A and B are shown apart, each in its own frame.
Chain A
Amino acid sequence: MNAMTHTTNAYNFGFLDEYAKKEVRRAVLKAIAIPGYQVPYASREMPMGRGFGTGGLQLTLSLIGPNEVVKVIDQGSDDSVNAVNLRQFIEMTCPGVSTTTKTAECTLVQSRHRIPELALTASQIIVLQVPYPDPLVVVEPSEDKRKTMHGEADYSRLLVKLYEDIVKFDEITISHRYPTRINGHYVIDPSPIPRWDVPKLNDSAALVLFGAGREKKIYAVPPHTRAEPLAFSDVPFRVEDFRDAAGRRRACARCGCTDSFLDEFVADSGSKTWQCSDSDWCDEQLLRTEHPQGELA
């Protein structure tokens, strides 16, 4: 609580003043009403760096209530430095709120770069941190022009980019931040989640909110809304391939899971292993299978 005593005035619940929170909530309502549309908002400065999740954090702090159970992950992990930092800040500025690492127990997840493997439910909200809110930025630098393109659902230049990829590489080279069409109109940048996570947006039971603090935009994929990654009928969208040279699906070296997104590790000897990127998922798989005593690493 050191930071709290640095000034004579204590901070408001959720750090931001109430007007700021109201503004964010109004933007959220609009974002839900127009799925995939990037709603501009003022975006206050937060005490952590722009690019570290200030947009997501403003959403979280505006939505958080006294009975909230919050989970914060970064790269799928609850324990990476930035996730710890954000969680501590939430605990510090929202007294009474509880935090958890368990996906199943939380009511609100703030995440950077991942959607948890465990399917989220209707009683949960996921807040994704967004560095680049506009998928058209790769083909058009001017926001003014991009706004018109979005309004007209004119994504032809984006499709041409995908086509050019196929001509050049025989493969679409977009690895993450895969452009995804929401409810048949607006194409969104789903934040730097891997392609693996994009299908989770489609018909999601949970509300998915996106917050870009630096770029001052909020957008949403409301529950049970269509989310279709851009692709061609003869070149379908594909998620990351975790098969080995023999074509077998690699398994997590820790829990043995064969249907999760894997992080690749290079040991000092040069050999490679793979483990679940979602740390809570990995723990749950371990508990469920060969470690009934719960003797976790």
Chain B
Amino acid sequence: MSYVAIKGGGRAIAGAAAVTEFLRTEEGLGNTCTEPPEPLKIDAILHQLRHLVDRVISEGGVYHPKFAALAVKQSLGDTLEAAFALRAWRSTRPRLSATPPLDTSRMRLIRRISSAFKEIPGGQMLGPTPDYALRLLRLDLMDESPEAFRAIAREWLETCPDAQLPDSFPKVLDALRAEDLLPPVSATRQQAAFDITREPLVFPVPRSAALATMARAETGSLLGIAYSNMRGYGDVHPTVAELRVGYLPVTLPHPVTGEFTEAGEVLITECEVVAMYEAEGGGKPVFTVGYGACFGHNEVKAISMAILDRALQKGMKDGPANPSEDPEFVLLHVDGVDSMGFASHYKMPHYVTFQSDLDRLRTTQQKSGEPA
């Protein structure tokens, strides 16, 4: 009998890391394949598992695709773990500068749709999406030859017509706003955004804090709560005014002159939903708006976020009528690092607290056995 069940903790941890590393490299033994086994290249993850990377940069809250791919690799594809590693790396970086609010009408789009209108200014552009694909297993990919793999991309480029794409696309919401169908842009837009990485959420929180929290939330958590609203625990009934995916130019103040200078671009997904109208203080009724945006190509996340933004605004105004309208319920339970960490911590020893539980149970059992 050992003193503490997990004696030799240090050796146990090292052993666990070693056997995990063995699983990662086991293929290298060459027992399971005919080709000489190769380690997974970061570039291969960046390109061929791009949605994994998208998810990790979004939930990790750092736009660093290469490190996101590295995180995917070292976590063996576990998105919660990968986002976690990226987030922890972020803690070691000081914040040196902040961008001004960026204008998403300047995005270099790869995809843009509206489900509100058949025709939108600038046109619909389906882009890369599995939305209308048949989800049939492509057995031909089981053993794809490198030659065929290379030929596909080359052929696509050769046959792709030169599209005359404009530099920017007008926002669908602007058209609705011009027709007085939307509320005017509120004054709060001029306020500095709440930085959730530097300030804790103390409720009630401004909308920018809610948006920032959801932007790096765990996709599944956000979807689950948004879905509850869609199904009836809520009444947003959204219409996707516009969903766009593309590269957004990022400007930063120049370190010497302070002038805003383009520093690069980030791939983002943005979704704007309009919901049933309401009359504000006896004024003209207008549609309401929900907004979602996140790093990477993550459409389900952006849509979920837009719906929850709308639900939370309603909850903050009228009081929450269901969980998805309650800012504390939504914002404190959607972070992947927080929730997965806490779920995992139950695997740690709880000998002391359980001993204490035993003491209470035995004492109350004893008392319930005694004559009153």
- A residues whose Cβ falls under 8 Å from a Cβ of B: 7, 9, 11-12, 15-20, 23, 40-52, 54, 74-77, 79-85, 88, 112-114, 131, 141-144, 147, 169-171, 173-177, 192-196, 214, 216-217, 240-241, 254, 261-265, 267, 273, 275, 277, 279, 282, 297
CB <8 Å contact, B367 and A171: yes
Please report the C-alpha to C-alpha distance between residue A195 and residue B94 in the assembled complex, in whole angstroms: 41
Which residue in chain A gives the minimum CB-CB distance to B195?
A42
Name 26 interchain pairs, CB-CB below 8 A, sorted by A: A40-B200, A41-B200, A42-B197, A42-B199, A45-B91, A47-B88, A48-B341, A49-B345, A51-B346, A77-B4, A82-B9, A84-B9, A84-B10, A84-B13, A113-B350, A143-B332, A144-B203, A144-B328, A171-B363, A175-B356, A176-B356, A177-B353, A241-B359, A262-B355, A265-B1, A277-B351
Q: Is B357 positioned at the interface, with any CB of A under 8 Å from its CB?
A: yes
CB <8 Å contact, B203 and A143: yes
CB distance from B349 to the nearest CB of A (A): 5
Please report the C-alpha to C-alpha distance between residue A262 and residue B197 in the assembled complex, in whole angstroms: 41
CB <8 Å contact, B10 and A88: yes
Considering the complex, which residues of chain B in the window 67-87 have a beta carbon less than 8 Å from any beta carbon of chain A? 67, 84-85, 87
CB-CB under 8 A from B328, the residues of chain A are 141-144
Please report the C-alpha to C-alpha distance between residue A44 and residue B367 in the assembled complex, in whole angstroms: 46
CB <8 Å contact, B13 and A85: yes
**Among the listed A17, A47, A142, which residue makes an inter-chain contact with B94, where contact means beta carbons less than 8 Å apart?**
A17
CB-CB under 8 A from A48, the residues of chain B are 341
CB distance from B298 to the nearest CB of A (A): 20
Q: What is the interface size of chain B, counting residues whose CB is below 8 A from a CB of the partner?
A: 59
Please report the C-alpha to C-alpha distance between residue A54 and residue B337 in the assembled complex, in whole angstroms: 11
Considering the complex, which residues of chain B in the window 175-191 have a beta carbon less than 8 Å from any beta carbon of chain A? none
CB <8 Å contact, B6 and A80: yes
CB <8 Å contact, B13 and A173: no
Given contacts A80-B4, A82-B348, contact A194 B10 (CB under 8 A): no
Which residue in chain A gives the minimum CB-CB distance to B84?
A45
**Among the listed B9, B339, B345, which residue makes an inter-chain contact with A79, where contact means beta carbons less than 8 Å apart?**
B9
Q: Is B338 positioned at the interface, with any CB of A under 8 Å from its CB?
A: yes
Considering the complex, which residues of chain B in the window 44-98 have a beta carbon less than 8 Å from any beta carbon of chain A? 67, 84-85, 87-95
CB <8 Å contact, B197 and A194: no
- B-side binding surface: helix, strand, loop or mixed? helix
Please report the C-alpha to C-alpha distance between residue A277 and residue B356 in the assembled complex, in whole angstroms: 12
CB-CB under 8 A from A174, the residues of chain B are 360
Please report the C-alpha to C-alpha distance between residue A44 and residue B195 in the assembled complex, in whole angstroms: 13
Please report the C-alpha to C-alpha distance between residue A7 and residue B251 in the assembled complex, in whole angstroms: 26
Please report the C-alpha to C-alpha distance between residue A16 and residue B356 in the assembled complex, in whole angstroms: 35
CB-CB under 8 A from B91, the residues of chain A are 15-17, 20, 44-46
CB-CB under 8 A from A12, the residues of chain B are 92
CB <8 Å contact, A194 and B4: no
Please report the C-alpha to C-alpha distance between residue A191 and residue B350 in the assembled complex, in whole angstroms: 13
CB <8 Å contact, A52 and B348: yes
CB-CB under 8 A from A169, the residues of chain B are 364, 367-368
CB <8 Å contact, B350 and A52: no
CB <8 Å contact, B352 and A192: yes
Q: Is B231 positioned at the interface, with any CB of A under 8 Å from its CB?
A: no
CB distance from B137 to the nearest CB of A (A): 35
CB <8 Å contact, A267 and B10: no
CB <8 Å contact, B1 and A267: yes
Which residue in chain B gives the minimum CB-CB distance to A168?
B364
CB-CB under 8 A from A46, the residues of chain B are 88, 91
Q: Is B198 positioned at the interface, with any CB of A under 8 Å from its CB?
A: yes
Which residue in chain A gives the minimum CB-CB distance to B17?
A2
**Among the listed A47, A114, A173, which residue makes an inter-chain contact with B352, where contact means beta carbons less than 8 Å apart?**
A114
Q: Is B3 positioned at the interface, with any CB of A under 8 Å from its CB?
A: yes
Interface centre among B200, B358, B368 (most CB of A within 10 A): B200
8 closest A-B pairs by beta carbon, nearest first, are: A51-B345, A50-B341, A49-B341, A84-B9, A44-B91, A175-B356, A47-B88, A216-B200
Q: Is B161 positioned at the interface, with any CB of A under 8 Å from its CB?
A: no
